[in-house]
Structure 1
């Protein structure tokens, strides 16, 4: 930025409030960086005044991007760019970036949250709440994670850390990914795992590719979806997949909501075939608290907080602040992945 100009950062919507909090804390000594957050509906009206945009859950389509006359960078607070029209941004000369998971500790947080949801289902959290209200002791009868077969659908960054944390519970781990010939950059020593494929693969008792998902679903007591959302994985947990699962098996989703087919999930909960489900991300967000799926006693939901910890958000706040300072100084941007 030239002279004494102010670099303006726009946070879209009043969601994930810790993000703007950590960013402001890292920039409070720099009066030439302005950090604002506005209501989602107001974003199209004000986006033209800003240089950097943090979309969060905001949909930035071509029409909104066309109004971003001063915008130079769209930077997601995390990795999810599904709502950003990257082609439109490219045509407008706007760089689009995200913060890789291996830079933030996000996979630590998501892996731990997945286990939290699994244990909540096994110990029947909703029924325990009822027992407390009714002053009952010694009920309900829970299940152990020990001895279970767990299918990790999507053995990427989160999946590797999940497997490492599941192993001490004494489980059998099944996992699928597109190729076992190379290890993801995200699953290396940046987050505490050894930087070799042999170590990561050794965590898994049975490996498969996308053609194995139905066989693995039949074998598993618990399925945990960690798979990325794209045109090939949208709705992959559908009627065929759920029907392949053992009767009474559990389903946990810490991936995007779109990898699950809503009607299929609802049907298998109603029929009793699905033993329980826990999810941190939903088909539409924020999720309707009156949705019939939430009425089942074996369904748990958390408000998209798997990656929202002081570990990951504190680091992302620092990275966003550093990028803003680099941008203001005209220096190369570091610590982020530019996708266009």
Structure 2
């Protein structure tokens, strides 16, 4: 990449203006290196601009085979985090482009997401929206909330977020049940497939009952709170459908911290309307940004946050350093370290 010439510019593309801290923090980290150019451009401009970039951070952009074919200088496609469902990995491989994610357990991303889950759970249990109404109406002593103490929490997809969540839930006095495709190997359905293998019986200490993916309906029927941590792919899309939600206890809470497509929209809306679903807490939506006038948001037992589960100072500063270091490695022609390749 012209490692012997300061005049050679390595160009890093951040797709779109959303999640602005990602490119702002990366640009700040690389400000002492003028030979690395960090750009964020509108999504509509990406097709006509991608050819001049060496490294791409896609964020919420979909990189299909047509776009990848235009990326004639591209060496690396990354996500500012872990989700790579928007990349045509086969097309990237065909064009000699590496695809990678940032391991969540080294950045604080999974810890940040786990904290967000607890925020959503507590917000629903203590009826956050109704509390705000009570404040406006000058009422005291209502609404009557519920405790997390004594609840059964089902973590569906026990990867890094699931592990960090279980660690943080334990002191609340809950029972934790969890599923993953294989407890003997790295999970393929967890929110992060780069999870650290359990050490010192960590999962045995954290989980009261373990199951496989085929047990999800049984586990849902026993849980007061279901937390979805599944990676979105062709196998997991729509996993939380009418059959699944119907199998949940009446009044149980549903939390989604992974990707919107794991939940079937119509199924969620239907069970909110019927009152079967006791509450919905989502940090991710079916389309993003989510329509603030969507019918789902009219229910007082729904809390939505704008995809900020992993957006904390800790995780974003750390991920910006990883992206910046990789850009410097790419520029110097050195082996790329600190990231996890998927091709």
Structure 1 residues 186 and 45 mapped into 2: Cα distance closer, same or farther (>3 Å)? closer
C-alpha separation between the residues in 1 aligned to 2:151 and 2:342? 39
Q: Is the partner of 1:66 in helix, strand or coil?
A: helix
RMSD over aligned Cα atoms? 1.4
Structure 1 residues 46 and 21 mapped into 2: Cα distance closer, same or farther (>3 Å)? same
Residue 94 of structure 2 corresponds to which residue in structure 1?
91
C-alpha separation between the residues in 2 aligned to 1:94 and 1:187? 24
Per-residue CA distance 1:49-93 (angstroms, 9 max, x = gap)? 111111110111111112112111111111111111111111222
The 5 Å alignment of 1:6-25 reads: 6-25=9-28
> Which of 230, 239, 242 is the matching residue for 1:239?
242
Residue 214 (structure 2) pairs with residue 227 (structure 1): no
Residue 42 (structure 2) pairs with residue 39 (structure 1): yes
TM-score by structure 2 length?
0.95
Residue 269 (structure 2) pairs with residue 301 (structure 1): no
Residue 109 of structure 1 corresponds to which residue in structure 2?
112
The 5 Å alignment of 1:169-318 reads: 169-182=172-185, 186-188=194-196, 196=199, 198-318=201-321
- Structure 2: state its 5+ residue gaps: 188-192
Matched positions, count: 335
> Which of 65, 69, 78 is the matching residue for 1:66?
69
Runs of 4+ displaced beyond 6 Å = none
Asked if the contact 1:73–1:97 (Cα under 8 Å) also holds between the matched residues in 2, the reply is yes
C-alpha separation between the residues in 2 aligned to 1:197 and 1:245? 32
Asked if the contact 1:160–1:187 (Cα under 8 Å) also holds between the matched residues in 2, the reply is no
Shift in Å at residue 297 of structure 1?
A: 0.6
Q: Which moved more, 1:84-93 or 1:294-303?
A: 84-93
C-alpha separation between the residues in 2 aligned to 1:249 and 1:46? 47
Asked if the contact 1:182–1:197 (Cα under 8 Å) also holds between the matched residues in 2, the reply is no
Residue 85 (structure 2) pairs with residue 55 (structure 1): no
C-alpha separation between the residues in 1 aligned to 2:217 and 2:103? 30
C-alpha separation between the residues in 2 aligned to 1:104 and 1:117? 22
> Which of 112, 120, 130 is the matching residue for 1:127?
130
Shift in Å at residue 183 of structure 1?
A: 6.2
Q: Is the partner of 2:70 in helix, strand or coil?
A: coil
Per-residue CA distance 1:137-162 (angstroms, 9 max, x = gap)? 11111100001111111111111111
C-alpha separation between the residues in 2 aligned to 1:68 and 1:271? 48
Q: Which moved more, 1:318-327 or 1:81-90?
A: 81-90
Asked if the contact 1:158–1:226 (Cα under 8 Å) also holds between the matched residues in 2, the reply is yes
- Structure 1: state its 5+ residue gaps: 190-194
C-alpha separation between the residues in 2 aligned to 1:197 and 1:238? 36
Per-residue CA distance 1:231-259 (angstroms, 9 max, x = gap)? 22111111111111111111000011111
The 5 Å alignment of 1:157-172 reads: 157-172=160-175
Q: Is the partner of 1:34 in helix, strand or coil?
A: strand
C-alpha separation between the residues in 1 aligned to 2:97 and 2:207? 41
C-alpha separation between the residues in 2 aligned to 1:121 and 1:106? 23
C-alpha separation between the residues in 2 aligned to 1:233 and 1:304? 19
Asked if the contact 2:194–2:340 (Cα under 8 Å) also holds between the matched residues in 1, the reply is no
C-alpha separation between the residues in 1 aligned to 2:128 and 2:21? 27
C-alpha separation between the residues in 1 aligned to 2:315 and 2:243? 35
